[in-house]
Structure formats: structure tokens, C-alpha cells
Amino acid sequence: MTEPAPQRIDFFFDFISPFGFFASLRVDELAARYGYGVDWSSMLVGVSILKVMGLKPVPQTPLKGDYAKRDALRYCRRHGLTLGRAFGQPPANPLIPGRCFHWVKAHHPGREKDVARALYAAYWLEGRDIGDLGLALDITAGQGIDRAALADGVESGEAAELLRKAVDASLARGVFGSPFFLVGDEPFFGVEKMELLEEWLREGGW
């Protein structure tokens, strides 16, 4: 008798997405209540929204941009979060944290969530520029990762290739926004779908 494979949620997020950040604070606890694990994978909304879907960035979309900002601030008030970044600031370069994350995930599997949490906190709570390579390396090293080895992985292009493959894999599975959740191939988009995701886990789908 082999043990059944642990049930898993695949969680996709972009570091520059506030709603991805919000989801990152809740998804593991939600999953654990139903005996699920969570696999985290950063993606790039700049690729899915701009290149694949042919849309424009949400903050620059009339009406929706204002709504998204208001929705995010309402969420923060509800959940007792105080952001360290103002909306409307230009976003950080998301490639840098994405590359650090996927390099860690490949070389130190199991450490990537703490790295993501640290990068997310630096960006959204402390307002720091995680698109700055030196800072991203420092934050990642602060989670017990060898800074020089990571720097080599970024410098050599290996980390970029890992991120590129992860983004392609996410698109192939239909992931187009942040946060996005897959339970098997069942998709849930947006932090406001986390209650439905929870129902899905509780009931085993329908």
C-alpha cells in the first residue's frame, strides 16, 4: 500500500500584485484546514495581461484602475493591514524577485515560501524596491540562502530561465492573473475567490 499523494493547491502570484500579497498571507492556513498543501509559484501579470491577453495594466485601465485601488484599500482595512507603498507609484521590476524566488525553489525546495514572504513583506509592508537586485539578494540571503550562489544563478541567466519556464508553465495551465489557484485543473482567480476555493476543498468539488 502506498500512501495517497498529498492533496495540493497550486498558488500563483506576482510580487507586484497587492492581491497576490493578500492571498499569500492566507492560502497555507486555508489549505491546511482541509489537509491540503500549497505549491507556490510566482508568475508575471505583465506577460499574461499585456502579451497573452492583449489588455492593459489594471492601474492604467479607466474605471477599473480606481476600483482596484479602492478594493485593495478596503481589503487592508478589513484585514488590519497597513501597506508601506502608495498605489500609483510605479511598480518594481518584477523579474528580479521572480528570478530569486524560482532559483531558490529549484535549488532549495521548501525554502521558497519564506523567501517569497520576505520579499512580499519588504515590498508591500515596508515599501522597499525589491526590483533592486542588491536588495533582493540581501532579502533572500536573510532567509538562509547563500547570497553568492544566488547571485551567480542570476548573473548566469539560470534564474531568468527558471522564471521563464515557470511563467510559460503557468500560462499553459490557463493562469492569467494574481492571485490564481489551481486544485488539479480547477481554476480560481482572485483573492475574492478564496471562500469559493475553501468550499471546493471542503466539499471535494461539485
Cell representation of residue 25: 498571507
Q: Cβ closer to its own copies: 53 or 149?
A: 53
> Of 33, 56, 147, 165, which lies in the binding site for its own copies, with binding defined by CB under 8 A?
56
Site for its own copies in 59-88 (CB under 8 A): 61-64, 66-67, 70-71, 74, 77-78
Strand order in the sheet with 36-42: 36-42, 7-13, 180-183, 186-189
Q: 202, 175, 195, 172: which is closest to 187 by C-alpha?
A: 175
For residue 90, the 8-state DSSP code is P
Q: Alpha-carbon Rg of the chain, whole angstroms? A: 17
The residues with which 186 forms a beta bridge, in sequence order, are 183
Contact 50, 57 (CB under 8 A): yes
In whole angstroms, the minimum distance from the beta carbon of 30 to its own copies comes to: 15
- Quote the cell numbers at residue 95: 523579474
Of 8 and 69, which CB lies nearer to its own copies in the complex structure? 69
Q: Please tell me the count of residues contacting its own copies according to CB under 8 A.
A: 30
User: According to CB under 8 A, which one of 50, 53, 144, 168 is a site residue for its own copies?
Assistant: 53
CB atoms within 10 A of CB 55: 14
- Contact between 202 and its own copies (CB under 8 A)? no
Nearest-approach distance from CB 184 to its own copies, in angstroms: 13
CA separation for the pair 92, 81 (Å, rounded): 20
Q: Is 168 in the site for its own copies (CB under 8 A)?
A: no
Answer for which of 46, 59, 91, 187 binds its own copies (CB under 8 A) is: 187
User: Which range, of 20-28, 111-119, 159-167, 188-196, touches its own copies by CB under 8 A?
Assistant: 188-196
The residues, ordered by sequence, that sit 6+ positions from 56 with a Cβ below 8 Å of its Cβ are 49, 50
**Is residue 195 near its own copies by the rule CB under 8 A?**
yes
List 9's β-bridge partners, or say none. Answer: 38, 183
Range in contact with its own copies (rule: CB under 8 A) among 56-64, 100-108, 116-124, 156-164: 56-64
For its own copies, the binding residues (CB under 8 A) are 48, 52-56, 61-64, 66-67, 70-71, 74, 77-78, 171, 174-176, 186-187, 189-190, 192-193, 195-196, 206
